[in-house]
Amino acid sequence: MIDMISPDRRWRYAGPLMQMHRDRKIVFVDGMGWQLSAPGSWLEVDAYDNDHAVYLMARDETSGDHLGSLRLLPTTGPHLLAGVFGSLCPEGAPRADNVWEISRLVTAPHEGTPGTRVLKVHRLLALALIEFGLLNGIDHYVLVAESQRVPALLSIGWRVRPLSLPTPYDGGPLIEALQIDVDPAIGARLRERLGIASSVFVGGIDGDSDRKAA
């Protein structure tokens, strides 16, 4: 199940959020060679982890530990595609109330984690994106991804529309700006695969739960 962590509820999730930033550092900095905003830190935090960010997080049902997460930002405010990756969209990045940005998708880098567990976490987060979108009047999500990751998005069931050409970035693999649609039919297929009939959010659509958070 998924926790929806809005800015006013972060204090309840101090421990899992710390684990999330630690896992982001291990995956993105140690594993992929990204540069830290604060050199020497053991956490990966950037300027877009701000007061507008909403986190969707999968946690271990027993320990409460972080298993996987992503960050959401409204495109009406500062976001990665418009800021860091603005050159990908020469005519301007999408900005609308019904378009939000996905970034910092990460799964906990546990040694020996089976691929089936990672796939389940990704499917849970995808279903949470559908539910969150339908609850908040979101029709589309945008994101920046390595071009080689597009097949993985398609395998989840997303309809993917490129917003840019594949583009070299900082000496690494090709990246591109993408748009995916919030489609209830995708959510229905994910529910069938996951065997989930009710809301994917812990405590239901309001996100309230007695499960240990910190």
- Domain membership flag for residue 206: no
Contact, 175 vs 103, CB < 8 A?
A: no
Distance CA 19, CA 17 (A): 5
User: Does 210 fall in a domain?
Assistant: no
Tens-digit pLDDT profile for residues 172-184: 889 999 999 999 9
pTM: 0.91
Tokens of 165: 């050409």
In a domain, 7, yes or no: yes
Q: How far apart are CA 144 and CA 17, in angstroms?
A: 22
In a domain? residue 84: yes
Q: Tell me the CATH number at 7.
A: 3.40.630.30
Residues of the chain with pLDDT > 70, as a percent, come to 93
Instruction: Assess if residue 162 is contained within a domain.
Output: yes
User: Can you tell me the distance from the alpha carbon of 2 to that of 22, in angstroms, rounded to the nearest whole number?
Assistant: 19
Q: What is the total count of domains within the chain? A: 1
Full domain range(s) for residue 73: 2-194
Instruction: Read off the pLDDT of residues 10-61 as tens digits, 9 standing for 90 and up.
Output: 999 999 999 999 999 999 988 888 877 777 788 999 999 999 999 999 999 8
Q: Give residue-wise pLDDT tens across range 142-156.
A: 999 999 999 999 999
Altogether, the residues listed in the chain come to a count of 214
Is 204 inside any structural domain?
no
